[in-house]
């Protein structure tokens, strides 16, 4: 797992396995341990921490295992927070963008009508500042949970016998 890309808030990875995808998926069936909750739907595997160990930005790992050939499979992984948290986070981003566009239209209208427009400029600037705050909050959430991300990744590697 490479962490060279610092802009990504939800890191992704993919690699090929030297086993068929059914065998890889069965490695996650009936996982009995206390550290993670593992659930499987078709060729998707979700690995997450139990509720009592979760915080607001606790990561989970979503794996998609696909067949390449009869003896090879492709594993695609995505780290991210709980989907409800991520949806709320994206909702806030869309609200900020929508308000920025509204302030931009309002600014343009006032400039065209030769009216005062400093309030709208400040509104646009404030939306940019809020966007940066949201971005850095997401970055801090990701980096503060780096140990949990590595624990999820190492658990996945141990189940798939990947070195």
Check whether 5 has a pLDDT greater than 50: no
Q: What is the pTM of this model?
A: 0.73
Closest C-alpha to 60, from 144, 2, 145: 145
Strands 37-41 and 72-80, sheet pairing: unpaired
pLDDT for the residue 118:
96
The per-residue pLDDT for 132 is 94
Q: Each residue of 95-127: pLDDT tens digit? A: 999 999 999 999 999 999 999 999 999 999 999
What's the chain's length in residues? Answer: 163
Question: What pLDDT does residue 23 have?
Answer: 85
* Range with top average pLDDT, 12-16, 113-117, 139-143, 159-163: 113-117
Contact 69, 75 (CB under 8 A): no
CB 160, CB 75: distance < 8 Å: yes
Instruction: Kindly tell me the burial class for residue 82, based on how many C-beta atoms sit within 10 Å of its own C-beta (0-12, 13-18, 19 or more).
Output: middle
pLDDT tens digits, one per residue of 7-17: 466 788 888 88
């Amino acid at each position: 797992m490479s962490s060279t890309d610092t802009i990504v808030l939800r890191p992704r990875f993919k690699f090929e396995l030297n086993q068929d995808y059914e065998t890889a998926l069965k490695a996650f069936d009936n996982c009995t341990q206390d550290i993670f909750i593992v659930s499987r739907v078709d060729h998707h595997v979700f690995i997450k921490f139990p509720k009592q160990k979760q915080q607001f930005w606790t990561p989970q790992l979503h794996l998609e295992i696909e067949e390449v050939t009869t003896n090879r499979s492709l594993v695609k992984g995505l780290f991210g927070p709980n989907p409800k948290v991520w949806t709320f986070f994206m909702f806030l981003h869309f609200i900020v963008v929508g308000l920025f566009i509204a302030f931009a239209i309002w600014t343009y209208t006032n400039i065209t009508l030769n009216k005062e427009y400093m309030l709208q400029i400040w509104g646009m600037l404030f939306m940019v500042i809020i966007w940066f705050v949201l971005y850095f909050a997401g970055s801090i959430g990701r980096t503060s949970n780096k140990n949990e991300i590595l624990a999820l990744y190492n658990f996945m590697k141990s189940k798939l016998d990947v070195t």
